[in-house]
Amino acid sequence: MATRRKAPRPLSIRESCPFMSAEEAWLWFWRCQLARDEGARFVADAGDTARPCDPDDVYRVAAGLLRQNVLGARQAMVLACYGRALAPPDARLEEERQAARWWEEGLTLLEGPLRRKGIVG
């Protein structure tokens, strides 16, 4: 019986296009997550644009920053709540002004690791 080699499969045979910003990557992760919650299955290379990662890679970066106490609990909560809503907080509204600050802080913290991994260009 031949042994099967375990090697990661490429995400796409097409040229991948990194995200323009951490916000774009984060909202893409949430669109994929909401689709999964509704029963969709993620299939690599199924979208119009080939991405350099799968949605879980974006989540893993955020979870790692949270575990390392780089990303604060408030920032993580705002990223999750507004990410699930697929819309950033509106800094023009008094009730969302603080959330908008935490949103920007959280995305700034995500930007570096996502850029190093080639997820954000």
Amino acid at 108: T
**Where do the structural domains in the chain lie, given as residue ranges?**
22-39+51-117
Question: Residue 71's pLDDT band (boundaries 50, 70, 90)?
Answer: very high
103: exposed, middle or buried (C-beta count within 10 Å: 0-12, 13-18, 19+)?
buried
The residues, any chain, with a CB within 8 Å of residue 63's CB and separated by 6 or more, are none
Q: How far apart are CA 47 and CA 67, in angstroms?
A: 31
pLDDT tens across 46-67, in order?
667 788 899 999 999 999 999 9
pLDDT tens across 9-20, in order?
555 566 888 999
